[in-house]
Amino acid sequence: MNQPVLYTAKLQAGLGLVMETKLLLEIWEPGMTVPTLYKEALASGQFPNVTARRLRNIVVECFAPRYLGYGAAPAQHLKLLMPALSSDELHQFLLIFTCRANLILANFIPQVYWSRYAAGDQELHNEVARDFVQRAVDDGKTVKRWADSTIKRIAGNLTGCCADYGLLENGVRRKRRFLSVHLSDKVAVYLAYDLHSQGLGDNSLLHHSDWALFGLERDDVLAELKRLSLNGWFLLQSGGDVVRMSWKYPSVEAVCHVLAAR
């Protein structure tokens, strides 16, 4: 029986780190190890206001888990796509990979952010995030029981990360206003191909938790993919609970090249 994946406090090492990620992606090359990336980043002069120790934490604790897993596919794809992405599109890509590396954020967004948004709330209070973290600790979802100070800090990390990626307004505050978020076409096409490449069947793909980061449920995803199919990204047939998709491009890398050219 597989052990459950537990929440970690890794978000404390860095929240969205949007600018830092962009700079590191420019420095990173395929085949580069994490220690080499750190040395190259340190020597680049691109991080003049970051201490060597802090830069190492960013590279080792944040960038590597988010973008260098799965054979560094996320870094390769982002490096190719980044020149063609708007800031909102880049934020959505970074959100996906950050959530894949941080389960607590991946659960917080659909369970709290989108739940409160759907209920008509205008703002998200840090106390709501703190309650979410406290319940997680009480339910044994962390490796060890976190101190109250850690719970408070992680709650702020969750809302701060949402702000960095454009889900909440920016600024240091106890409550933040919800921002309008809609999954971009480029991110939706990429995500569909990426999930397909992971071996998910066409029906299973529609239920994957990554879509929930953008407030989408199965029927919403189906509607989005139907719309995108009209633009020739893939063929999609659906009837009842059965969905069949035919993929125009042979790999995620191939579709990334096309997306990067648009």
Q: Does residue 106 share a domain with residue 169?
A: yes
Choose among 155, 153, 133, 130: nearest CA to 142. Answer: 133
Predicted TM-score (pTM) of this structure: 0.95
Alpha-carbon dihedral sign for residues 99, 13, 70, 79: positive
Rounded distance, CA 20 to CA 38, Å? 12
Domain end marker among 148, 177, 206: 177
Residue by residue, pLDDT tens for the chain (262 residues) are 455 789 999 999 999 999 999 999 999 999 999 999 999 999 999 999 999 999 999 999 999 999 999 999 999 999 999 999 999 999 999 999 999 999 999 999 999 999 999 999 999 999 999 999 999 999 999 989 999 999 999 999 999 999 999 999 987 678 899 999 999 999 999 999 999 999 999 999 999 999 999 999 999 999 999 999 999 999 999 887 889 999 999 999 999 999 999 8
Q: Does residue 200 share a domain with residue 169?
A: no
Domain with 161, as residue range(s), is 101-177
